[in-house]
Amino acid sequence: MKKSYFLIFVFFLIFLDQLFKVWVFNNQLDLVLPGWWWDRVPFLEIVYLENSGMAFGLLSGTGPWIKLSLSFFRVFAISFMFYYVFSRYKSFSPFTIFVFGLLIAGACGNCIDSVFYEKFGLNKTGIGGGFFSGNVIDMIKVSFFPPIFNLADSFITIGCVLSLVFYKNLSGVSG
């Protein structure tokens, strides 16, 4: 598989995540009105929530230095994952590349929120008004899972579960 296909896959997932977040942000008042397609799914609700912490609201409301640290950590983690994937790309199976694509796309989607959204006015409850101070927009609420999450969180979760379940296939360890 070519590296360009990997990049297209990652950027497509990031585009979907950002498109959904911007749509929810722009329609947050209309989400409470009946008639949306998810009204027919009994366990699903689309809401608008700004998450100032990390996955599933952990570390929310801990202050500007923690938020800044989380944002810089996200940027570092994404840079490291890109470097790792591209430095070993030829040795990875398509499945491994798919899993890394999910992880990188999810991390990038949430990183875009935390780095840029406050600067460009997409957050209503941000702390600073500058780069690296935005909240992550969450919108998916399911009845059997209390935390509200977004597509990027889903990509990360699916990537982590796949990497745990198929660890031997990802690591190249023969069994």
pLDDT of the residue at 143: 86
Residue reference for tokens 């780069």 = 131
The pTM (predicted TM-score) of the whole model is 0.82
Within a domain: 35: no
Distance between CA atoms of 7 and 15, rounded to whole angstroms? Answer: 12
Kindly report, residue by residue over 75-102, the tens digit of the pLDDT. Answer: 899 999 999 999 999 988 899 999 999 9
In the chain, the largest separation of any two C-alpha atoms, in whole Å, equals 54
> How many independent structural domains does the chain possess?
1
Percent of the chain with pLDDT over 90: 33
Within a domain: 29: no
Within a domain: 24: no
At residue 166, φ and ψ (nearest 5 deg) are -110, 40
Residue 137: give the domain boundaries: 45-52+62-175
Kindly report, residue by residue over 130-164, the tens digit of the pLDDT. Answer: 666 667 888 899 988 888 899 999 999 999 999 99
**Cα 56 to the center of its chain, rounded Å:** 11
Within a domain: 92: yes
Within a domain: 22: no
Within a domain: 83: yes
Within a domain: 12: no
- Cα–Cα distance list, 31 to 4, 27, 34, 138 (Å): 37, 6, 8, 13
